[in-house]
Amino acid sequence: MTNPFLEPSSLPYALPPFAEITDDDWLPVFEAGLEQQRAELEAMATDPTEPTFANTLEALEHSGRILARVEHAFFDKASSDSNDVTDALELELAPRLAEHADAIRLDPRLWRRLEALDARSDQLDLTAEQRYLLERTVADFGRAGAALGDDDKEVLRRLNQELSTLTTRFEKALLADTNDLAVVVHDPAELRGLTEGQLGAAAEAARERGLEDAWVVSLVLPTGHPLLASLDDPALRERVMAASLSRGRRGGEHDTRALVLEIARLRARRAVLLAFPDHASWVTAGETAGSPAAVAELLGRLAVPAARNAAAELADLRQLASSEAGSGSGSDTDGGEVRASDWAWWAEKVRAERFDVDTAAMRDYFEADRVLHDGVFHAASRLYGLEFAERRDLVGPHPEARVFEVTEDGGAPVGLYVLDLYTRDSKRGGAWMNPLVSQSDLLGLPPVVVNNLNVSKPAAGSPTLLTLDEVTTLFHEFGHALHGLLARVTYPSFSGTNVFRDFVEFPSQVNEMWMLWPEVLENYAVHHVTGERMPRELVEKLVASRTYGEGFATSEYLASALLDQAWHRLSPEQADRVDDVEAFEQEALAAVGLDRPQVPPRYSSTYFAHTFSGGYDAGYYSYIWSEVLDADAVEWFEENGGLSREAGDRFRARLLGVGGSKDPLEAYRDFRGRDARVEPLLERRGLA
């Protein structure tokens, strides 16, 4: 069989040969990869010699190379540029890959070898990384059910296969419904308030759908939409919000409510089978949090002041709306009432009045290529000595994806960075980082990572201007990319972002700091027409206004995080009794005081991709959990030179560079000299 994945890629940094890959290549090489790893593991399981680190753990790390190569490439393709073939194949592969993973973790012969190694670990001459690999592998196999009896293992296999299929179906249904619900506008008067660039992007989205004399507002993954802050027409704002909120709950083939209920039920059953009271307990036992109680303690500490601040912000919005009621300035509500669809629009008005800040006008200073080179790359160069050179000779996963070679002092190779910036109907919502090649000294592999964003593509010949939120997202996702690029580990299990889920957001959140750091902002925030730098007073006003709106932002986030916990703290009996998704949501949010209709959850259950298809099940709390570390680390940078090579080298050596090869909280203590304090987070979000 001839297939581009059967042998390691000969391209620089082992970049997958995307130019050679066809849809016909995927299934045969998945078949070959599964067969290869099964044979490798059978040889290991039947090895008559005494288990050693080399013939057991290192053999596990060596196994499945074909499968690893094709999985990295295929799942980026399936999430960023899907088609009917990849959709069907992903549904077919989901239960098979779940079955294959269970065949490894539930093999009693492998488990006995691991137990034997663990029992005499003190007698083994292991490095710190090897000892941690043994510890983590035994723990992961144990949590996966390796010690269960045969009958329970068979039940577990069926549950895992069903769940893999259901979560894949959820993702596909959500993407289809999101595309179907894009708001089509035929009257340009409805779009007043948008800039020429925003209008051009909406026209381009319509053109790509074959629509003439129309504009399309494509939905984003969160409930709110960036254009709600600019659209002057309250009726159109309400149409966009209504479309967003209705995803997955309109009936028909794309309705996700039945999937949500069944996923919650099966996860609850699986948790009890694995000797945990609920799914959240099973998940957090393998994270730094350790238990749902620890998560509840942090979220509960934040919920009350967040709701209080959101109420105060709403009062401000109502006051302004009331004063302008009937003036035709954007409110059609009685007595200045503010709906969820109006919040962002009025918040911009309050921000402009109180702080003299117009975030929409800032887009002229955020031309995408300049933000990338003179902002994102510039900060990484100053901190870590990295250099970036575009490789137009290398083909990425999509024709619009750009490939950059990353080197450091003296031209020493680091890896490849791929950026796929623009939205399209074939790309799932949100923004994320994937490895295309996972770094490993054992396998001699360098890192290749990709960032996917969903920025609206402008009309031909027009510049790509980013919103403030999109600039934040680019810096954030590049923080994940840095984690993948700079980790230097021996074993692929510890590569890059292979860390505890509730720690993985920490490096990316820290990287957001540099977007407003004076030396960085002054370097990239340049007006795309006049060439003038963003005025210093505008920057100062922006910084002064940053805590404004945190009541809303924290409340909408916490509502989703607590909703995620509510679904996954159900026992099987409780889950079986839930038959109404909307009623369950309302009750769960009311219980924590976050049921304010003007502040809907950032993600509602029917389009909560993070928790029902994206690997953050019972783990959406991770963002705020990691932000405790992030805010504390930012305080360290501010006290220790800020944007300096010395500070960057310490952060790289003690946190980014260790990947998953060390307990993350131990790594943080090594960097900071102590545990993180929660006070910097409370101050940042105005919750102190």
**Count of CB atoms situated within 10 Å of the CB of 42:** 13
Report the catalytic residues: 477
Give the separation between CA 518 and CA 467, rounded to whole angstroms: 19
* 8 A C-beta contact, residue 526 and residue 533: yes
Give the separation between CA 302 and CA 280, rounded to whole angstroms: 19
| Single-letter amino acid, residue 435 | P
Give the separation between CA 621 and CA 569, rounded to whole angstroms: 13
Give the separation between CA 101 and CA 115, rounded to whole angstroms: 19
Structure tokens at 526: 């340049």
What is the enclosing helix (H) or strand (E) of 557?
helix 550-568
Structure tokens at 195: 């800039």
Helical H segments across 11-58, by residue range: 26-45
Residue partners of 560: CB distance under 8 A and separation at least 6: 601, 602, 603, 608, 610, 620
| Single-letter amino acid, residue 498 | N
| Single-letter amino acid, residue 156 | L
| Single-letter amino acid, residue 165 | T
Give the separation between CA 477 and CA 421, rounded to whole angstroms: 11
Task: Kindly give the pairing relationship between strand 412-422 and strand 402-408.
Answer: antiparallel
**Count of CB atoms situated within 10 Å of the CB of 69:** 24
Residue partners of 11: CB distance under 8 A and separation at least 6: 17, 394
Give the separation between CA 58 and CA 54, rounded to whole angstroms: 5
Give Cα 149 to chain centroid, integer Å.
36
| Helix/strand number for the chain, H first, E second | 27, 7
Structure tokens at 502: 């509730």
* Beta-bridge partners for 402: 419
Give the separation between CA 688 and CA 675, rounded to whole angstroms: 19
Task: Order across the sheet with 448-455: list the strands.
Answer: 387-390, 402-408, 412-422, 448-455, 432-437
Q: Of 444, 507, 498, whose CA–CA distance to 140 is shortest?
A: 498
DSSP E strand boundaries for 399-555: 402-408, 412-422, 432-437, 448-455
Structure tokens at 253: 């083939």
Residues across the chain:
688
Give the separation between CA 90 and CA 651, rounded to whole angstroms: 38
Q: Of 613, 605, 606, whose CA–CA distance to 565 is shortest?
A: 605
Q: Of 378, 432, 373, 435, whose CA–CA distance to 404 is shortest?
A: 373
| 3-class state of residue 283 by DSSP | helix
Residue partners of 218: CB distance under 8 A and separation at least 6: 179, 182, 205, 423, 425, 456
* 8 A C-beta contact, residue 415 and residue 404: no
**Count of CB atoms situated within 10 Å of the CB of 239:** 18
